[in-house]
Amino acid sequence: MTRESGSGGSYHYGDKVTVNGSGNIGIVKNQSPTIDARQAAPNPPQEAIQQLERLLLELRAQVTPAGAGTIDRNLPVIVSEESDPEARHGALMAVLGVATFVGGEAGRSIIEAVGRVLELLGLA
């Protein structure tokens, strides 16, 4: 959009496109949109931890009381952002042991989720 100013000059706002030749299809834009603080990028580690939490809560009902106790003791350490990395790693290894023992699809899903969390947190 071009606007004429009162002093005889003009100001251009927006894209300016010059087309030469024929068979042109579109415009290549090499600019990124402005990200508002409210539209900040998602937090992949936190999303992966939330998914692991859901899976562990589902698994809890399928395991022995000892396995459920292991999940109960370690889940708060896993989900807390204030947890020490070493403590979080230990908690992830503990629930990994429960998932490995359970096996099947439920165990496999948790094993994959734990691996993803370890990787995203830089603990793998």
pLDDT tens digit sequence for 37-89: 455 555 789 999 999 999 999 999 999 999 999 999 999 999 999 999 999 99
Q: Tokens for 37?
A: 């603080």
Domain count, the chain: 1
DSSP track, 22-43: S----------PPPPGGGPPP-
> Is 35 part of any domain?
no
Q: Establish if 7 belongs to a structural domain.
A: no
The single-letter code of the amino acid at 104 is G
Q: Is residue 8 part of a domain?
A: no
Q: What is the pLDDT of residues 13-34, one digit of tens each?
A: 556 666 777 766 655 555 555 5
Task: Name the DSSP letter for residue 110.
Answer: H
Structural domain boundaries enclosing 76: 44-120
Q: DSSP E strands: which ranges in 10-102?
A: 10-12
- For residue 23, being part of any structural domain is answered with no
Residue 50 lies in a domain: yes
